[in-house]
Amino acid sequence: MAFALSSMRVTSPAFDDGSGIPSRHTGEGEDISPALVWQEAPEGTKGFAVICHDPDAPLVQNGTYGFVHWVLYNIPASASSLEEATRVGTRGKNDFGKLGYGGPMPPEGHGVHRYYFWVLALDKPTDDLPEGLKIHDLLVKVEPHLLGMNRLVGTYQRG
């Protein structure tokens, strides 16, 4: 992923940056996406995308480490948040092989994993992209249009 860190701030009413993700947002709970809020999107933003990635997963896929839990795009520029269990946007395919969000579920005994909820601000809408893109395919399409990004990090350890 191209790195275009910006002053955009990403938060969640469900958990603080660096703290534990509530079990309702995990594979052991209700497995619903947490609410996200972002502020100070770069000027000229015409749309957003969201990716949740676990870099601590013991997997190598597509030449990279980790596990993708959420790929969401076609979020309008007017948005500054997503509700819990959102239906906004177009769902991509996660590494569970399913569309939409798949919550944290690290292997038992694997310790604490970090989950990066990235919000990408884009200089063009993504309404022309089909449902079901995997992270690599999405990034190929949006990287040339990336204005800025930032993230919220949550943690989870299987009980």
| Residue pLDDT, tens place only, 146-158 | 999 999 999 999 8
Mean pLDDT of 26-36: 97
Beta strand 113-122 pairing with 67-76: unpaired
Residue range 87-103, pLDDT digits in tens = 999 999 999 999 999 99
Percent of the chain beyond pLDDT 90? 83
Q: What is the pLDDT of residue 58?
A: 73
Indicate yes or no: pTM above 0.85: yes
Q: Which pLDDT score, from 0 to 100, does residue 61 have?
A: 60
74 is a domain residue: yes
Residue 32 pLDDT greater than 80, yes or no:
yes
Q: Report yes or no: 67 and 53 within 8 Å, Cβ to Cβ.
A: yes
Please report whether residue 52 resides in a domain: yes
Backbone angles phi, psi at 25, to 5 degrees: -100, 15
Q: How many domains does the chain have?
A: 1
Indicate which CATH number applies to the domain containing 89: 3.90.280.10
Residue 120 sits in which domain range? 9-156
Q: Is 4 among the domain residues? A: no
- Residue 1 has a pLDDT of 46
